[in-house]
């Protein structure tokens, strides 16, 4: 948690593209600054120097540390101010505690400043990263963008091929593994091949995975030969597939060059040997870890790091009926994804594989167990609900005499004397049964009910 004991003023900045809005509060809650600031170094430097000269230590808090919020933080560090970061989700939840529904830059800046003053545990420290970590952060972000672009293009090519040649689904992953030039070589399949023409695919062996490339090309032609009809629109593959395969090959080439640059930067970092020595952590995963958590000194224990990544189980308890551990939905998604992939990559290590096999032998699964589900309807025990008849056979006189002969405000209880009936041989009282014929016969056999006050005429 950030120490605010010696802070003279809390300056909350709601950052923007052209202007920021600043709101300054003293430790006592007095407002000392509230105006818009241009997004320029001279103006920001002048405001920070003025507040520092008047109040001493200044804590600058922003809600977006990257992009448009990078310049105010850099200027504040250069002037000598302390900096911190209030996550956007925490800021919005804190804003709900304040009266009003308005959403303005001035209100957001006031919420940030007051949260830093009264709730310092919600702030995140922003340590000055070295040049290597800063470059790794930019390169990792660019590499992830390229990976997403390669995935989208590969899915587009696969969708086109399987649309006209569904049998290619059995040929394996058509776009090829990420980072290889298998995709552009294996996907050069003109429509003349499907129409019985000569095979014109490039069977050259790529630099990576030559055996896989040869097998994949053979599987593709085997699947194509099974289809004798031509789906309308197949001729468009000659234009669309090469147009998509060329950018895909370029993206793979960019990722290979980027990986070499990331590896060179990673070797210069003092923690590179420690990270890459762990099973399942390679160049890209180590770069993501360094770009996300740095050296990890901001986390007191490993449990804090696991909670920040969203890997620690969350307890849900209420009274004695609800109690259990559940997988959390929050956490740093980028860090969680890197740890998730590294866990599966670590299965190649014998020690990690042994631990995995022992966990599976104990009944552990990859995901938390689902809640106990109800059996299907045809397997559930049949439970017949009791029939709720208005006139039940057990107490015929009660149902009739309660509405006719009982005084107002009193409930008529069943009694043999009230209607002159007595239990029959089967232990039941003669009364109203299921059918109208049975109803007529029962009433005729009950003189106390039939003759006592013209019950039937009132009932009808």
- List pLDDT tens digits, range 159-206: 888 888 888 777 665 444 443 444 444 444 444 444 444 344 444 444
Helix (H) or strand (E) holding 14: strand 9-14
State the pLDDT confidence band at 147, using cuts at 50, 70 and 90.
very high
pLDDT at 218 over 50: yes
User: DSSP strand E in 92-228: where?
Assistant: 124-125
Q: What are phi and psi of 282, to 5 degrees?
A: -105, -155
- Measured CA to CA in angstroms, residue 283 lies from 169, 273, 335, 374 at distances of 32, 11, 15, 46
Among 13-27, 365-379, 405-419, whose mean pLDDT is lowest?
405-419
Among 108-122, 215-229, 363-377, whose mean pLDDT is lowest?
363-377
Start-to-end Cα distance in the chain: 82
> Is 23 within 8 Å of 36 (Cβ atoms)?
no
Selection from 257, 253, 249 nearest residue 186 by Cα: 249
By the 10 Å C-beta count (0-12 exposed, 13-18 middle, 19+ buried), 43 is classed as middle
- pTM of this structure: 0.60
Joined tokens for residue 376? 């299907």
- Measured CA to CA in angstroms, residue 53 lies from 9, 39, 46, 59, 84 at distances of 11, 21, 11, 13, 20
Neighbouring residues of 82: CB distance < 8 A, sequence distance ≥ 6: 2, 7, 57, 58, 59, 60, 76
Q: What is the dihedral of CA 243, 248, 254, 259, to 10 degrees?
A: -170
The reported pLDDT for the residue numbered 175 is 45
Joined tokens for residue 174? 């058509």
- 397/200 Cα distance (integer angstroms): 96
- 426/157 Cα distance (integer angstroms): 81
pLDDT in tens, 82-136: 999 898 888 888 999 888 888 899 999 999 999 999 999 888 887 766 678 888 8
pLDDT in tens, 18-63: 889 999 999 999 999 999 988 889 999 999 999 999 999 999 999 8
What percent of the chain stands above pLDDT 90?
26
Among 13-27, 69-83, 262-276, 316-330, whose mean pLDDT is lowest?
316-330
The reported pLDDT for the residue numbered 328 is 82
- Measured CA to CA in angstroms, residue 257 lies from 142, 175, 218, 251, 263 at distances of 12, 20, 30, 10, 10
What percent of the chain stands above pLDDT 70?
69
pLDDT at 373 over 60: no
> Is 98 within 8 Å of 111 (Cβ atoms)?
yes
- Tell me which range, 199-208, 272-281, 320-329, 369-378, is most confidently predicted by mean pLDDT: 272-281
Average pLDDT along the chain: 76
- Tell me which range, 149-153, 233-237, 337-341, 417-421, is most confidently predicted by mean pLDDT: 149-153
By the 10 Å C-beta count (0-12 exposed, 13-18 middle, 19+ buried), 280 is classed as middle
Query: Would you call 314 helix, strand, or coil by DSSP?
Result: strand
State the pLDDT confidence band at 216, using cuts at 50, 70 and 90.
confident
- Measured CA to CA in angstroms, residue 361 lies from 55, 74, 326, 346 at distances of 63, 53, 21, 18
- Measured CA to CA in angstroms, residue 435 lies from 69, 392, 397, 425, 430 at distances of 83, 12, 17, 21, 14
State the pLDDT confidence band at 382, using cuts at 50, 70 and 90.
low
Q: What are phi and psi of 38, to 5 degrees?
A: -65, 150
**Residue position matching structure tokens 């870890």:** 289
């Amino acid at each position: 948690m950030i120490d605010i004991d010696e802070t003279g003023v809390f300056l909350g900045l709601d950052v923007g593209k052209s202007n920021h809005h600043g709101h300054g509060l003293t430790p006592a809650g007095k407002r000392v600054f509230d105006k818009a600031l241009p997004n320029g170094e001279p103006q920001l430097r002048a405001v920070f120097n003025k507040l520092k000269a008047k109040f001493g230590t200044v804590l600058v808090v922003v809600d977006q540390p990257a992009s448009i919020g990078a310049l105010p933080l850099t200027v504040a560090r250069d002037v000598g101010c302390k900096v911190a970061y209030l996550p956007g989700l925490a800021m919005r939840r804190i804003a709900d505690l304040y009266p009003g529904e308005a959403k303005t830059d001035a209100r957001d800046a006031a919420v940030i400043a007051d949260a830093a003053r009264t709730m310092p545990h919600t702030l995140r420290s922003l340590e000055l990263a070295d040049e290597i970590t800063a470059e790794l952060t930019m390169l990792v972000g660019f590499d992830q963008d390229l990976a997403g672009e390669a995935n989208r293009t590969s899915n587009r090519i696969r969708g086109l091929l399987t649309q006209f040649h569904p049998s290619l689904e059995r040929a394996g992953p058509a776009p090829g593994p990420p980072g290889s030039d298998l995709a552009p070589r294996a996907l050069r399949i003109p429509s003349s091949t499907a129409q019985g023409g000569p095979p014109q695919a490039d069977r050259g062996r790529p630099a990576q995975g030559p055996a896989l490339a040869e097998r994949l090309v053979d599987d593709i032609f085997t699947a194509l030969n099974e289809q004798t009809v031509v789906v309308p629109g197949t001729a468009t593959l000659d234009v669309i597939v090469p147009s998509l395969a060329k950018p895909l090959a370029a993206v793979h080439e960019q990722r290979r060059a980027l990986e070499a640059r990331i590896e060179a930067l990673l070797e210069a970092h003092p923690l590179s040997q420690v990270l890459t020595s762990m099973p399942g952590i390679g160049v890209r995963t180590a770069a993501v870890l360094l770009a996300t958590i740095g050296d990890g000194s901001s986390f007191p224990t490993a449990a804090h790091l696991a909670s920040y990544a969203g890997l620690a189980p969350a307890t849900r308890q209420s009274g004695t009926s609800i109690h259990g551990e559940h997988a959390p939905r929050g956490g740093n998604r980028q860090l969680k994804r890197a740890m998730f992939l590294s866990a599966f990559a670590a299965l190649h290590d014998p020690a990690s594989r042994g631990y995995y096999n022992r966990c599976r032998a104990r009944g552990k699964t990859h995901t938390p167990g689902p809640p106990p589900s109800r059996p299907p309807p045809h397997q559930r025990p049949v439970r017949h609900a009791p029939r709720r008849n208005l006139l039940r056979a057990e107490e015929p006189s009660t149902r009739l005499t309660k509405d006719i002969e009982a005084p107002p405000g009193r409930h008529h209880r069943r009694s043999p004397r009230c209607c002159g009936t007595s239990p029959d041989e089967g232990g039941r009282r003669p009364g109203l049964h299921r059918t109208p014929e049975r109803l007529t016969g029962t009433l005729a056999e009950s003189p106390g009910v039939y003759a006592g006050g013209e019950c039937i005429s009132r009932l009808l």
